[in-house]
Structure formats: C-alpha cells, structure tokens
C-alpha cells in the first residue's frame, strides 16, 4: 500500500506553477516520543539535514559529532555535524544518517542516504503527488 504526499504548489509570474514534494517523517525525540516533522524531499541532496536547534530536540550532542564542511546549492560553505537520528516511516523504524548544520535557518531536507534504498518512489507531475512503497 503506497504512502502518498500531495505536492505543495505555488504559481509564479515568471515560471508558472511550481510543484514541491514534502514528506512527513516521525523523528524520535530525546524524551523517547515521536514528533512529526515536514521535510522537503530533495533528490539532489546526499544527506538529510536538520537545523542546529533540532539537535537538542533529538538528543544529539554536536560537540562529539564528526564535523565536515559541506556546500549549499548556491555553493555557500557551512559546517555540518554528522550523526544518526531514529525515525519512523511507513511503519518502519530505522536510524537515518544525517547532518546538523551550524545554523538554525537551515530547512529540513530529506536526502538520499539511508532512505531511498528502503523505499520505491514515484514522482507524479500528472497527479501532483509523491508516493512511497516499501521495497
């Protein structure tokens, strides 16, 4: 049974309709409860990324995480902290490799590593939705 997410859409004067795929994941907090969080599904992103402040919510101590400089889509460098968070999606609980950035204005991005190998994905412009099925 597929899990479906309708695209978010906005109309622009220059480019017409822009469709954006968002996905809801449940993220396990430091208190042991799951919290629903909306992520932009970014097939161009290697890693799932979180803003710095989310590290406190999920109980990740950034000072002990490996650091790496990564680059944004507009080639701006940012310091990231590599970690894993426990998530639940499609009834499956798993550790998702991710990075926390050194900023709080970072959007929640769902990247490929640790996620796309678990699910079949279907992006449909015709039906304006993103669907997932377990492999």
The per-residue pLDDT for range 100-119, each reduced to its tens digit, is: 999 999 999 999 999 999 99
* Strand, helix or coil for residue 1: coil
pTM of the full predicted structure?
0.90
pLDDT of residue 132: 95
The pLDDT value given to residue 69:
96
In the chain, the percentage of residues whose pLDDT exceeds 90 is 89
What CA–CA distance (Å, rounded) separates 22 from 131? 11
Q: What is the predicted pLDDT for the residue at 125?
A: 87
Pick the CATH number of 3-134 from 2.40.30.10, 2.60.120.10, 2.40.70.10, 1.10.10.10: 2.40.70.10
Q: Which helix (H) or strand (E) holds 72?
A: none
Q: Averaged over 73-86, what is the pLDDT?
A: 94
Mean pLDDT of the chain: 95
């Amino acid at each position: 049974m597929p899990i479906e997410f309708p695209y978010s859409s906005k109309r622009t004067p220059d480019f017409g309709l822009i469709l954006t795929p968002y996905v809801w994941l449940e993220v396990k907090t430091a208190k042991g409860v799951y919290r629903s969080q909306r992520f932009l599904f970014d097939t161009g992103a290697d890693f799932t990324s979180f803003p710095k402040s989310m590290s406190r919510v999920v109980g990740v101590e950034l000072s002990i995480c490996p650091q790496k400089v990564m680059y944004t889509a507009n080639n701006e460098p940012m310091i990231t902290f590599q970690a894993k968070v426990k998530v639940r999606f499609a009834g499956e609980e798993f550790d998702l490799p991710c990075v926390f950035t050194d900023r709080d204005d970072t959007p929640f991005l769902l990247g490929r590593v640790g996620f796309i190998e678990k699910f079949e994905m279907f992006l449909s412009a015709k039906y304006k939705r993103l669907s997932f099925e377990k492999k």
